[in-house]
């Protein structure tokens, strides 16, 4: 018991640091309109010197690994089967296809740029599904080599591009002569982060916002399937023949989604779970920021940015093609 209490006390300084950064990022996001994830990353990197502080290190590691898994599992409270089926059969077929081909393109493009399949999976999954949240979920089942650097870059890239897309995509899609439903479909199918999808959709109209949100939730609902598939791919680690266990947080995501769809989770509780998920993920992003220096980011080179940008453009044009096919 004494040892357990000592371990808990060792986590407190790092936890206080990460959630303080998360609170500051949330305050700045509410007052200046920029993504909370981006603020959490930048503020976290400003406190990189504390990553070498023995008092904070345990809590930072705990937040970046354990708490992020809990946050991803609680994402299931944001999605219901009713939201998915209300879209009709077209998007239900098109969205999984777009997710699959974007991930495959990410792997291929990564190899063409001389990068690893691992990085292609990470960036492709983040672009294809739900940005930073997907990146955090996917990296948890990937081999650990260079994981923190790749994850931090991916989160920064998809968050930044998602913010740009929130402004640029509604203007671009409007030039295609589409109705609000068509624009909403494209916004939900191509913008990385949920908040930016909602912001872009309702900036066009209420109808476009509703469709964009539903399509985005369909993408989010594919997260546990993709994570489980990647976990199966890497079930044998390089260090031995021991099979990796199915990630519990991915199973929990699916179970929470199912319970929410069946109405077993009261709306008040679902809202609380969603808010808890948001705080845990922001704190996890802050912890990753604290653990990584700006120098590590500048050493990555232009091919990293080109990788995510290329996948983003690919997804946008693939979604436009899919829309005309299902229309």
Report the alpha-carbon distance of residue 281 to residue 189 in Å, rounded: 22
Query: Which alpha helices (DSSP H) does the chain contain, by range?
Result: 2-32, 36-46, 54-62, 68-73, 81-85, 89-112, 117-128, 132-139, 147-174, 180-190, 194-204, 206-221, 223-233, 248-261, 267-291, 294-298, 302-326
What's the confidence (pLDDT) of residue 323?
92
Specify the number of domains making up the chain.
1
Look at the pTM and tell me if it is higher than 0.75.
no
The conformation of residue 74, written as its DSSP 8-state character, comes to: G
Among left, alpha and beta (phi > 0; psi -120 to 50; other), residue 242 is: beta
Burial of 286 (0-12, 13-18, 19+ CB in 10 A): buried
Burial of 327 (0-12, 13-18, 19+ CB in 10 A): exposed
> Are the beta carbons of 40 and 25 closer than 8 angstroms?
yes
- Provide the residue range defining the domain that includes 46: 2-326
What's the confidence (pLDDT) of residue 20?
95
Kindly give the confidence (pLDDT) of every residue in the chain, 327 residues in length, as a single tens digit, with 9 standing for 90 and above: 666 677 778 888 889 999 999 999 999 988 887 778 778 888 988 888 887 767 888 888 888 878 887 887 887 787 666 666 666 788 888 999 999 999 999 999 999 988 888 889 999 999 999 888 888 888 878 876 655 677 878 888 888 788 788 889 999 999 998 988 899 999 999 998 877 888 788 888 878 888 888 888 888 888 888 888 888 887 755 444 444 445 577 678 778 888 888 889 998 999 999 899 889 988 988 887 887 666 655 665 677 788 889 999 999 999 999 998 876
What's the confidence (pLDDT) of residue 327?
66
């Amino acid at each position: 018991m004494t040892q357990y209490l000592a371990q808990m006390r060792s986590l407190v300084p790092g936890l206080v640091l990460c959630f303080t950064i998360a609170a500051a990022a949330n305050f700045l996001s509410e007052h200046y309109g920029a993504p909370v994830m981006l603020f959490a990353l930048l503020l976290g990197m400003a406190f990189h010197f504390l990553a070498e502080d023995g008092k904070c290190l345990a809590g930072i590691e705990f937040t970046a690994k354990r708490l992020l898994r809990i946050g991803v599992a609680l994402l299931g409270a944001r999605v219901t089967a009713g939201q998915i089926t209300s879209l009709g059969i077209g998007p239900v077929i098109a969205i999984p296809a777009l997710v699959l081909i974007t991930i495959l393109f990410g792997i291929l493009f990564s190899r063409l740029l001389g990068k690893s399949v691992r990085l292609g999976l990470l960036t492709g999954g983040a672009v294809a599904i739900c940005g930073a949240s997907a990146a955090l979920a996917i990296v948890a089942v990937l081999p650990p080599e260079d994981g923190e650097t790749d994850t931090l870059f991916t989160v920064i890239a998809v968050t930044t591009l998602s913010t740009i897309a929130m402004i640029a995509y509604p203007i671009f899609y409007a030039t295609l002569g589409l109705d609000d439903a068509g624009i909403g479909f494209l916004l939900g199918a191509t913008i990385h982060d949920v908040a930016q999808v909602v912001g872009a959709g309702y900036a066009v109209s209420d109808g476009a916002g509703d469709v964009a949100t539903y399509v985005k939730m369909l993408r989010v609902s594919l997260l546990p399937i993709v994570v489980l598939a990647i976990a199966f791919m890497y079930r044998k680690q390089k260090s031995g023949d021991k099979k990796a266990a199915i990630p519990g947080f991915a199973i929990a995501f699916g179970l929470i989604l199912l319970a929410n769809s069946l109405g077993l989770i009261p709306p008040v509780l679902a809202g609380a779970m969603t808010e808890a998920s948001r705080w845990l993920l922001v704190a996890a992003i802050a912890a990753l920021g604290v653990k990584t220096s700006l120098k590590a980011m500048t050493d990555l080179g232009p091919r990293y940015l080109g990788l995510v940008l290329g996948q983003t453009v690919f997804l946008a044009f693939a979604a436009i093609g899919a829309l005309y096919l299902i229309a």
